[in-house]
Amino acid sequence: MHQKHVLLIDGMALLFRSFFATAISNQFMVNRHGNPTNAIQGFLRHSLTAIEQVKPTHVAVCWDMGQKTFRNEVYTEYKANRQEAPLELIPQFDLVKEIATHFSFANIGVKGYEADDCIGTIAKVANSETKVSIVSGDKDLLQLLTDHVEIWLVKKGYGEYDRFTHSRFQEEYGITPAQFIDVKGLMGDTSDGYPGVKGIGEKTAFKLIREHESIEGILENLHLLTPGQKKKIEADLDMLHLSRKLAAIHCEVPLPELYYNEWSGVPSAAGEIVDHHELKTVHRFLASYQAFTGERI
């Protein structure tokens, strides 16, 4: 019997990435129904390309469900610096989920949590006999790496990935994936709108965690830090703890009972939804797409 291999797709990351890849030249790919489809078409190409390489037995796509999550209750400025979604992208949020179901992708999203939290929860509950591959563009997910969980970070174009295993991460960064949360707590994240410790950048954050193992270890050894480092951390102590809390992926999301679908190739019915919404680039892609079952779509 083949090992179960679950592919978790960060739907929001791939959808936004696909939208801006063509929006920069105003290629919104509006169909006859008046709906822009550029983000959807890029998302499908990314997802199917990943499936072809990963060869999973099960697939799920995780989504954000609105802008507000429990992190906004903890820190009102969380992601407050982000601009509103472009008008051409908004109608694609619901439509992409509808279309994804026709491709046998399970859509997972829980109000009050981010897609990352759903991904983390599924990865955590998977037993050691189940392999999990996560496709995203978000480095925050590296904290989820284990011996049976891999992260495939998308690079420019389709089919190019920066593939992280647990061992590769430790060799390159000199810390464990769990310690990466403390690094983020120290350095903050400007894209998510939490500052960490002002004046502590990525290089220093990694150095401090390598030397002291954790934020608690740093605080116990403040006397060993440089005067500048000690002063910065003491001045931003509350924000340090808060930033670490915001950086941690929540892995206890109340998921629906069925949270991934078995994958056995692109269903024949997918072609109908592609034609209905005039997903022309997807149509061309499917014409040459080889599902790993060996059947030409």
CATH label, 173-247, candidates 1.10.150.20, 3.40.50.1260, 3.30.70.360, 1.10.15.40: 1.10.150.20
Neighbours of 107 (CB within 10 A): 17
CA atoms within 13 A on the CB side of 286: 21
- The residue written with tokens 């400025």 in the block is 77
Q: Alpha-carbon distance 133 to 165, whole Å? A: 10
Task: Supply the pLDDT for residue 1.
Answer: 53
Tell which residue, 131, 116, 142, has the closest CA to residue 253: 116
- Decide whether 5-171+250-288 matches 173-247 in CATH topology: no
Write out the chain in H/E/C secondary structure.
CCCCEEEEEEHHHHHHHHHHHHHCCCCCCECCCCCECHHHHHHHHHHHHHHHHHCCCEEEEECCCCCCEHHHHHCCCCCCCCCCCCCCCHHHHHHHHHHHHHCCCEEECCCECCHHHHHHHHHHHCCCCCEEEEEECCHHHHHHCECCEEEEEECCCCCCEEEECHHHHHHHHCCCCCHHHHHHHHHCECCCCECCCCCCCHHHHHHHHHHHCCHHHHHHCHHHCCHHHHHHHHHCHHHHHHHHHHHCCCCCCCCCCCCCEECCCCCCCHHHHHHHCCCHHHHHHHHHCECCCCCEC
Return the structure tokens found at 195: 């500052």
Task: Supply the pLDDT for residue 288.
Answer: 81
Q: What residues does each domain of the chain span?
A: 5-171+250-288, 173-247
Task: Supply the pLDDT for residue 243.
Answer: 98
* CATH architecture assignment, domain 5-171+250-288: 3-Layer(aba) Sandwich (3.40)
Type of residue found at 41:
Q
Stretches in the chain below the pLDDT threshold 50? 291-297
Task: Supply the pLDDT for residue 144.
Answer: 98
Tell which residue, 186, 45, 60, has the closest CA to residue 118: 60
Contact 148, 128 (CB under 8 A): yes
